[in-house]
Amino acid sequence: MTCTTPSGIPARRALRGAPWLLLAAAALAAAAALGCSGEVTVPPRGEVTVPPGGPIDPPATGEDPCPPDGEPEPPDPAPIAVTAVKSAAFIGDTLHLEATVEGVPRYLVLALDERGGARAVAIATGLLGPANLVEGAPGIHVRLRAGDAGNPVVDLVATEDPEAPELVSSAELSGVVDGGTPFSVSAGRLFFCMRPQVGDGEPAALVAVDVLVGREPLVPEVITSPLCAGSGEVSYAAAGATWISWSQPAESATQDVSLYTVGAEGAAPIVNHGYNATGVHRYGAVLAAATSEQRAVFDPENRTYFLLISPSGGAQIAWASLDVGAERRLLGVVDTTLYLATEEGVRAVDIADIERPETLPYQATIEGFEGALRLLAASPRFLAVVDDRGTLFLVPREGSGTVGPLVAFPSAGDAAPAGPCED
């Protein structure tokens, strides 16, 4: 069913291209509230007099604006203001965002063209909250979020049409999670760390939930494993079947890093590695870490080294020195490519062979970012990166170049006013 906004704009529109090297526009005036009875609506077009790049109507040139061979291509409409981006997921050729749209918190769906042009095709009112969806099965994505009381809430989302996501079921579980609790899906099961109810005095435990049961009740199963049960300050990251953990050691203590694989049989330890954080190499404690299913990377205080782990091939471990400049920081890992944030933007390192990592010639120069860059999501073509303000940058993974803040336009049908050739 297609619903309409008060202006009669269909709730779903086709994608139109826009160049990916555009700079961000200033925030537009707040738009009128949407009046669609369904859960999927189109964000309204903002009201501006002169959008970035010039007026909506082309300036007078003295030439006939209505050539005999056809009508001119209408100009792009004014962009919409997408700010304070918190989480994201790529699903097919769409990018799902938890963001502020025209000053209002939204779950926004953008359709992307091959150059990174973005059109807002839906606001999913029934999915307000995190957009960090993970595929659970074909056409079904999963997310974990913290409820009002800190209890875990598992949502199953239908994504057969990624431009029109729909909440299938939502289940509140008994326990406590943090808003940024890592989670992953492997072998049809959702895995995450959960603490018992406040006051129980029990440590956190690894929990698995079967997410292939459709609308049936979701029942958590506690997995017996050291994973999630570490005492003191332990951090985690996860991707599919691969989980990693790292401790925050006291002065002169051993730094511990671990890698596990999770699946239908539970959790199995693959690597448990300890090193002297204050030894001769002065590696220092791990400041950040990230993992894909193929490679794990730990970024210590020492600005020269990274610790790399491959879960395959006998669980290899290697210290690597990467020459990308003095100021570099771990951004994320996608498959066997390590991405680093630098003073200029993003660099890439091939870590397929962790004993011989290769710094690639790739360099994305990011204009206008403030503070630290953070990777929210990745697709085969793009990285979704935000800065400390929540400004979103869509960074191509192939080819070097300059990237500005993402510019998102309304859907194609909510475009420009009638041109001079209209009757």
20-34, 215-229, 262-276: the lowest-pLDDT one: 20-34
What is the predicted pLDDT for the residue at 360? 94
Highest-confidence segment of 29-38, 80-89, 254-263, 312-321: 80-89
* Exposure on the CB side of residue 192, measured as CA atoms within 13 A: 29
Pairing of strands 40-41, 118-124: antiparallel
Q: What is the dihedral of CA 40, 41, 42, 45, to 10 degrees?
A: -150
Q: What is the dihedral of CA 363, 366, 370, 373, to 10 degrees?
A: -50
Residues 397, 120: Cα–Cα separation, whole Å = 22
Band of residue 22 on the pLDDT scale cut at 50, 70, 90: very low
Rg of the chain over Cα atoms, rounded to whole angstroms, equals 24
Band of residue 215 on the pLDDT scale cut at 50, 70, 90: low
Band of residue 313 on the pLDDT scale cut at 50, 70, 90: low
Band of residue 105 on the pLDDT scale cut at 50, 70, 90: very high
Q: Is 296 left (phi over 0), alpha (psi -120 to 50) or beta?
A: beta
What is the predicted pLDDT for the residue at 296? 97
What does pLDDT average to over the chain? 80
What is the predicted pLDDT for the residue at 200? 60
Residue 101 CB burial class (10 angstroms; 0-12, 13-18, ≥19): buried
Residue type, 339: Y
What is the predicted pLDDT for the residue at 229? 80
pTM here? 0.79
17-26, 251-260, 307-316, 398-407: the lowest-pLDDT one: 17-26
Residues 60, 238: Cα–Cα separation, whole Å = 57
What is the predicted pLDDT for the residue at 390? 97
Q: Is the pLDDT of residue 309 over 90?
A: yes
Q: Is 116 left (phi over 0), alpha (psi -120 to 50) or beta?
A: left
* Exposure on the CB side of residue 396, measured as CA atoms within 13 A: 19
Dihedral angle sign, alpha carbons of residues 365, 369, 374, 380? negative
Q: Is the pLDDT of residue 193 over 90?
A: yes
What is the predicted pLDDT for the residue at 64? 54
Residues 173, 422: Cα–Cα separation, whole Å = 57
Q: Is the pLDDT of residue 25 over 50?
A: no
Query: In this structure, what DSSP letter does residue 258 have?
Result: E
Dihedral angle sign, alpha carbons of residues 344, 120, 85, 333? negative
What is the predicted pLDDT for the residue at 164? 96
Across residues 280-306, what is the average pLDDT? 92
Residues 100, 32: Cα–Cα separation, whole Å = 15
How many Cβ atoms from other residues are within 10 Å of residue 294's Cβ?
18
User: And the tokens for 261?
Assistant: 């694989």
Closest by Cα among 341, 347, 351 to 318: 351
Which of the two residues, 373 and 75, has the higher pLDDT score? 373
Q: Is the pLDDT of residue 78 over 60?
A: yes
What is the predicted pLDDT for the residue at 281? 79
Residues 43, 47, 50: CA angle, nearest 5 degrees: 125
| % of the chain at pLDDT higher than 90 | 55
| % of the chain at pLDDT higher than 70 | 75
What is the predicted pLDDT for the residue at 311? 85
Residues 276, 119: Cα–Cα separation, whole Å = 50
